[in-house]
Amino acid sequence: MKSAYNIVMSLRTRIQKSIEKAAPGIDVTVEVPQRPEHGDYATNAAFLLTQKSISSKDAAQNLVQNIDSALFEKIDIAGAGFINFFLKKELLYGELETIRKEKLSYGTGEKKQKKIQVECISANPTGPITLGNGRGAFLGDTLARALKHAGFTVETEYYVNDAKASKQISDLGKTALGEESAYPYIEELYLQEHPNIKKEIEGMTAAEAGHTLAQFIQKENEKTLQDIGIHTDVFFHEQELFDKKKVRAAVDLLKKHNLDYEKDGALWLRTSAHGDTEDRVIIRNTGEPTYFLTDLAYHLNKFTDRKFNTVIDIWGADHHGYAPRLQAALRALGIRDEQFRVIITQLVRLTENGKEVRMSKRTGQFETLADFVNDIGIDAARYFFLEKSPDTHMDFDLGIAREHSAKNPVYYIQYAHARIASILNEAQSQKHPDYALLTEQKELALIKHMAQFPDVIEDAARTFQVHHIPRYAYELAHAFHDFYEEHHVIQENKELEAARAALVEGVQTVLQNTLHILGIHAPEHM
């Protein structure tokens, strides 16, 4: 029996073919309407055809004639050229059976011959991972999970800015040796707590001391990520680009393509010819490479050495103006725009009782991710960071995040999962329940919500936007709670009990899948 998910895909294909016959070049959308009276799926295809001087009624009728009506209970032609499709119950029952059979593999996409890298975080090894780093880290981790579920080969990476010759490493060393105070917090955070480090760097140059301390800080940061459930496949060290002469190779490549020139004793890159606002210096008049050149060498390593088809970088708001110059440089070297995507995460503000708060327990200079997660818990941290689009500024309400009630959406979702686990411990199950007994509106609504899961994940993988996934989890949990308030699973009619047990088992499976992609626990008890 065909699943509802497959129907959506074939529906899109059939509508597209119909449009191509009538008027080529129309982009069709097939979506789930917000109001159930508008069907299970809808398309604006007829409206788009109307814009091509074809009447909406004629266009709609022409499209309907080219669609397999046997898949649907009915097809309505609405005003303004919209067509609404109502699925047959048998197709919904088939989807529920698919969910129960496939379990945690439900909604996985076909294996794709495309290798994607997600650079989740590139925090400097000059201090702890901050709250600002956390938003990108959670986003990248979740995006990678969604891409894997959609069938892509994915690798996550942390770029460690630890070049020995960099000013920040030198300043870190000078601070540790008491020569400067660029990073005043390191005494309290690292040197006092780990006196062996302070002893080890005695007598070193600033660059040596900075690199030694940076290595220690990096290990601490990697442990923080591990503790909060963020898996990183590769930790790529900036210093490796110099050790393996990748920076020199990047310059040679630019020269080969006649993309560089000398001016005022420095070497410049012709980025303005490829979409940047101006040309950029890649080697200073002192002979030192700029960070831009190092970053370009790093990204060439991703594309040419490691053969990634698509690279996704997640950067903080302070890098907003930096993306165009790197994109221009890569464009000049033949890397297409769609191969390199940059996602900018905006700032996070912590609030409680309507007021901004700080929660740093130590330096007062920044909010550490570890302190934050210790305060509200990893599940709440991930959910609230992920529910907003990264390009929006975010007010994080600590009061709601700490709530153990339905006011907290994480608690609300997890309670649905735990409640189902409790039901299934009592309910009578059958290997082949009679799904035809599921005829109530809220029962069918639950299956329809479950059937949306593959599309939610595929859309996230296609657009690189994951903030719809937590919302989907909340809506599915709400549909379950709404169903359970009106209909009992445990009851005298054992055939109906078995059918409803299968229904909520399906909900549990989809919730588990969704929560896994979000990196949130799915508890059996609460």
Closest C-alpha among 190, 118, 123, 125 to residue 153: 118
User: Given this model, what pLDDT does residue 31 score?
Assistant: 83
For the residues of 147-205, what is the DSSP string, one character each?
Answer: HHHTT-EEEEEEEE---TTSHHHHHHHHHHTTS--SSTTHIIIIITT-HHHHHHTTT--
Neighbouring CB atoms inside 10 A of 222's CB total 17
pLDDT at 474: 98
Give me the pLDDT at residue 494, please. Answer: 95
Amino acid at position 456, single letter: V
- Retrieve residue 293's tokens: 């050149």
| 292, 293, 299, 300 alpha-carbon torsion, rounded to 10° | 160
CB burial of residue 38 (10 Å; 0-12, 13-18, 19+)? middle
Q: How far apart are CA 187 and CA 215, in angstroms?
A: 16
Its pTM stands at: 0.91
Give the confidence band of 22 by pLDDT, cuts at 50, 70, 90: low
For 169-223, how does the pLDDT look when each residue is reduced to its tens digit (9 = 90+)?
A: 999 999 999 999 999 999 989 999 999 999 999 999 999 999 999 999 999 999 9
* Per-residue b or e along 179-212, where b marks 16 or more CB atoms closer than 10 Å to that residue's CB: eeeebebbbebbbeeeeebbeebeebebbbbbbb
pLDDT value at 359 more than 70: no
| Residue 102 CB contacts under 8 Å (≥ 6 apart), including other chains | 108
| pLDDT score of 371 more than 80 | yes
Q: Give per-residue pLDDT as tens, 435-482.
A: 999 999 999 999 999 999 998 999 999 999 999 999 999 999 999 999
Rounded to a whole number, what is the distance in angstroms from the first to the last CA of the chain?
37
Contact 322/315 with Cβ under 8 angstroms? Answer: yes
Cα–Cα distance for residue pair 516/421, rounded to 1 Å: 16
**Per-residue pLDDT, 37:** 87
Contact in structure between 224 and 230 (CB atoms under 8 Å): no
Helix (H, G, I), strand (E, B) or coil at 83: strand
Q: Give the pLDDT confidence of 333-353 residue by residue, as tens digits.
A: 999 999 999 999 998 999 998
For residues 222 and 228, give the distance between their C-alpha atoms in angstroms, rounded to a whole number: 10
Residue recorded with tokens 């370009």: 296
In the chain, what's the furthest Cα-to-Cα distance?
88
Annotate 261-328 with DSSP letters as a single string.
Answer: EEETTEEEE-GGGGT-SS-EEEE-TTSPBPHHHHHHHHHHIIIIIS--SEEEEEEEGGGTTTHHHHHH
Mean pLDDT of 36-47: 83
Q: What whole-number percentage of the chain has pLDDT above 70? A: 92
% of the chain residues with pLDDT over 90: 72
| Distance, CA of 94 to CA of 117 (rounded, Å) | 36
In sign, the C-alpha dihedral spanning 255, 258, 259, 264 is: positive
User: What local confidence, expressed as pLDDT, does residue 361 receive?
Assistant: 47
User: For residue 266, is pLDDT > 70?
Assistant: yes
> How many angstroms separate the CA atoms of 127 and 368, rounded?
9
Is the fold of 4-87 the same as that of 405-518? no
Task: Break the chain into its structural domains and give their ranges.
Answer: 4-87, 348-402, 405-518
Which two three-digit tokens encode residue 108? 């996985």
- Would you say residue 360 has pLDDT above 80? no
What is the pLDDT at residue 269? 98
pLDDT single digits (tens) 319-329: 888 999 999 99
Pick the CATH number of 405-518 from 1.20.120.80, 3.40.50.1860, 1.10.730.10, 2.60.120.260: 1.10.730.10
Mean pLDDT of the 142-149 span: 98
User: For position 365, what pLDDT does the model report?
Assistant: 54
Select the more confidently predicted residue: 10 or 279: 279
In whole angstroms, give the CA distance from residue 73 to residue 91: 10
Q: What is the pLDDT of residue 82?
A: 82
**Whether residue 122 has pLDDT greater than 90:** no
What are the angstrom distances between the C-alpha of 355 and each of 120, 397, 399? 30, 9, 11
d(CA 479, CA 446): 6
pLDDT at 10: 46
Across the beta sheet with 260-263, the strand order is 260-263, 266-269, 280-283
Q: From residue 314, how far is each of 117, 305, 340, 353, 419 by CA, in Å?
A: 11, 21, 11, 31, 36
Fold classification of 4-87 is Gyrase A; domain 2 (3.30.1360)
Check: CB of residue 465 under 8 Å from CB of residue 473: no
What element of type H or E holds 387? none
Is it the case that residue 250 has pLDDT exceeding 90? yes
